[in-house]
Amino acid sequence: MSTTKTKNLVILGLLLAIVIIFSTTPYGTIPINPALSITLNTIPIALAAVSLGITGSLVIGTAFGICSFMQAAGIMMPSTMGVTLFGISPVLTFLQCVVPRALDGLCVGLLYTGIAKLLNKESACFAAGFCSAFLNTLFFMSSLVILFGKTPYLQGMIQDKGNGNVIAFIIALVGMNAVFEMLASTLITGAIGIALHRAKLIPSPVKAKV
């Protein structure tokens, strides 16, 4: 096995371990105040895009989704909403947990690769961090409404938090959490990604010829 393949496997293993740790311990969240906390689970997806490319971020995104489903099933650190959704439909919960995160990984990998070639790796690192958090929220909330929007549980939440308006419900539910998650993911991924490039621990994408 070549040195590059070995290094990539090591990085993939480390990122998978981080996803599992974040999903089984409180270390995956940062409390801002009693009513606000942000998740760090999207950062390994972005770092996988930066260090391993599209395939790596897809794998890490899928792993994050599987861990989320296991949380909903009560196997890992439980999620209140996830446990409720699992009680309504385990199959739909699996789709709702895994598909958005896998799509997040795929899209972030594609976006990082494209931006790095068109602009520069520094911009691409920060963009990967932002897109990972933004797309995770977008895909997760969209699938939640699509798959569970007609259930009494979600209908009650829409009425309570959004006065019957789906958009208002989504804004009220994600609120400032999403803003802080995007900020944290952007800054942390950008800083780590640039450090890895400068240390020559990961290769720099070849810029597209104009």
User: Looking at residue 176, which CATH number applies to its domain?
Assistant: 1.10.1760.20
Could you tell me if residue 162 is inside a domain?
A: yes
The number of distinct structural domains making up the chain is 1
**Residue 161 CB neighbours (<10 A):** 15
Residue 33 resides in a domain: no
In a domain, 206, yes or no: no
pLDDT at 1: 57
Which range marks the domain in which residue 117 is found?
A: 3-28+38-198
pLDDT for res 112 = 95
| Residue 146 within any structural domain of the chain | yes
Instruction: Report how far residue 29's alpha carbon sits from residue 189's, in angstroms, rounded to the nearest whole number.
Output: 16
In a domain, 64, yes or no: yes
Spans in the chain with pLDDT lower than 50: 34-36, 206, 208-210
Q: Measured in Å, how far apart are the chain's first and last C-alpha atoms?
A: 36
- Report the pLDDT value the prediction gives residue 203, as an integer from 0 to 100: 66
Q: Tell me, what's the pLDDT at 66?
A: 95
**205 occurs within a structural domain:** no
Is residue 204 a part of any domain in this protein?
no
Q: How far is CA 89 from the centre of its chain?
A: 23
Q: What is the pLDDT of residue 209?
A: 47
Amino acid 25: pLDDT = 86
Q: 192 in a domain, yes or no?
A: yes
